[in-house]
Amino acid sequence: MARYNPKETEPRWRKAWDEADSFKAVASGDKPKYFVLEMFPYPSGRIHIGHVRNYAMGDVIARYKKAQGFNVLHPMGWDAFGMPAENAAMQSGGHPRDWTYGNIEIMREQLKQMGLAIDWSREFATCDPEYYVHEQRMFLEFWKKGFIERKESMVNWDPVDQTVLANEQVIDGKGWRSGAPVERRRLSQWFFRITDRADDLLAALEDGRLAGWPDNVKTMQKNWIGKSKGLKMRFHADAGAPRGFEAIEIYTTRPDTLFGASFVGVSPDHPLAAEFAKDDPKLQAFINECQAAGTSEEAIEKADKRGYRLAMTVKHPFVEGKTLPVYVANFILMQYGTGAIFACPAHDQRDLDFARKYDLDVIPVVCPPDADPASFDVTDEAYVGPGTIFNSGFLNGLPVDEALPKAIAKIEEMGDGQGTTNYRLRDWGISRQRYWGCPIPVIHCEKCGVVPVPEQDLPVKLPDEADFSKPGNPLDRNPVFVNTTCPECGADARRETDTFDTFVDSSWYFARFAAPTPDAPTDPEEANYWLPVDQYIGGIEHAILHLLYARYYTRNMMECGHVNVAEPFENLFTQGMVVHETYLDADETKKLKDRWLFPEQVEKKDGKVISIETGEEVIVGSIEKMSKSKKNVVSPEEIAETYGADAARWFMLSDSPPERDVEWSEAGVEGAWRLINRIWDLCEPNAGIFNRAGADIPAGTDPELRRLTHVTVDGVTDDIEHFRFNKAIARLYEFINGLKKAAPNASEAAVSEGLSALTRLIAPFIPHLAEECWAHLGGEGLACDAPWPKAEKALLVSETITMPVQVNGKRRTEITVPADADKEAVEKLAIEDEAVQRHLDGMQIVKLIVVPGRIINIVVKP
Partner RNA sequence: GCGGACGUGGUGGAAUUGGUAUACACAACAGACUUAAAAUCUGUCGCUCUUCGAGCAUGCGGGUUCAAGUCCCGCCGUCCGCACCA
Percent helix, strand and coil across the chain, each to the nearest 5: 40, 20, 40
DSSP conformational letter for 451: E
Judged by CB, which is closer to RNA: 456, or 816? 816
The neighbour count for residue 767, using CB atoms within 10 Å, is 28
- CA nearest to 543, candidates 192, 214, 203, 195: 214
Distance CA 626, CA 48 (A): 8
C-beta of 571: minimal distance to RNA in Å? 18
C-beta of 341: minimal distance to RNA in Å? 14
Distance CA 91, CA 89 (A): 5
Q: Are strands 417-422 and 442-445 parallel, antiparallel or unpaired?
A: unpaired
Judged by CB, which is closer to RNA: 488, or 718? 718
Is residue 507 within 8 Å of 79, Cβ to Cβ?
Answer: no
Report which residue type is found at 261. A
Judged by CB, which is closer to RNA: 205, or 527? 205
Distance CA 495, CA 332 (A): 37
- Crossing angle for the helix pair 669-683 and 645-653, nearest 10 degrees? 120
Non-local CB neighbours of 288 within 8 Å, separated by 6+ positions: 183
C-beta of 198: minimal distance to RNA in Å? 10
C-beta of 802: minimal distance to RNA in Å? 5
Distance CA 258, CA 265 (A): 14
Judged by CB, which is closer to RNA: 75, or 779? 75
Judged by CB, which is closer to RNA: 161, or 275? 161
C-beta of 546: minimal distance to RNA in Å? 7
Distance CA 787, CA 509 (A): 31
Judged by CB, which is closer to RNA: 754, or 779? 754
- CA nearest to 291, candidates 275, 273, 276: 273
Non-local CB neighbours of 320 within 8 Å, separated by 6+ positions: none
Phi and psi at 184, nearest 5°, equal -95, 130
C-beta of 92: minimal distance to RNA in Å? 18
Judged by CB, which is closer to RNA: 70, or 598? 598
Phi and psi at 628, nearest 5°, equal -65, -30
User: Coil, strand or helix: which one is 536?
Assistant: strand
Judged by CB, which is closer to RNA: 652, or 782? 652
Report which residue type is found at 511. A
DSSP conformational letter for 236: E
Judged by CB, which is closer to RNA: 27, or 795? 795
Cis before 532? omega within 30: yes
Is residue 836 within 8 Å of 813, Cβ to Cβ?
Answer: yes
Is residue 727 within 8 Å of 719, Cβ to Cβ?
Answer: yes
Is residue 151 within 8 Å of 103, Cβ to Cβ?
Answer: no
Is residue 494 within 8 Å of 446, Cβ to Cβ?
Answer: no
Judged by CB, which is closer to RNA: 447, or 823? 823
Is residue 617 within 8 Å of 651, Cβ to Cβ?
Answer: no
User: Is 628 annotated among the ligand-binding residues?
Assistant: yes
Q: What angle do CA 558, 562, 565 make, to 5 degrees?
A: 40
Q: What angle do CA 165, 168, 169 make, to 5 degrees?
A: 45
Distance CA 850, CA 573 (A): 38
Judged by CB, which is closer to RNA: 523, or 734? 734
C-beta of 507: minimal distance to RNA in Å? 12
Judged by CB, which is closer to RNA: 391, or 677? 677
Judged by CB, which is closer to RNA: 223, or 485? 223
C-beta of 730: minimal distance to RNA in Å? 4
Judged by CB, which is closer to RNA: 375, or 816? 816
DSSP conformational letter for 577: P
Distance CA 139, CA 147 (A): 9
Distance CA 432, CA 439 (A): 9
- Please list the residues that pair with 861 across neighbouring strands: 844
C-beta of 28: minimal distance to RNA in Å? 33
Q: Are strands 619-625 and 578-584 parallel, antiparallel or unpaired?
A: antiparallel
C-beta of 430: minimal distance to RNA in Å? 7
Q: What are the strands, taking DSSP E only, across 240-391?
A: 247-252, 263-266, 307-315, 323-329, 340-343, 366-367, 388-389
C-beta of 577: minimal distance to RNA in Å? 6
C-beta of 459: minimal distance to RNA in Å? 20
Is residue 573 within 8 Å of 536, Cβ to Cβ?
Answer: yes
- CA nearest to 662, candidates 571, 578, 748, 779: 578
Helix (H) or strand (E) holding 817: strand 810-818
Judged by CB, which is closer to RNA: 229, or 660? 660
DSSP per-residue codes, 471-531? SS-TTTT-HHHHEEE-TTT--EEEE---EE-HHHHTTSHHHHHHS--SSSS--HHHHHHHP
C-beta of 51: minimal distance to RNA in Å? 11
C-beta of 66: minimal distance to RNA in Å? 26
C-beta of 361: minimal distance to RNA in Å? 22
Report which residue type is found at 423. Y
Query: Which residues sit in the known binding site?
Result: 628
Query: Which residues sit in the known binding site for ATP?
Result: 628
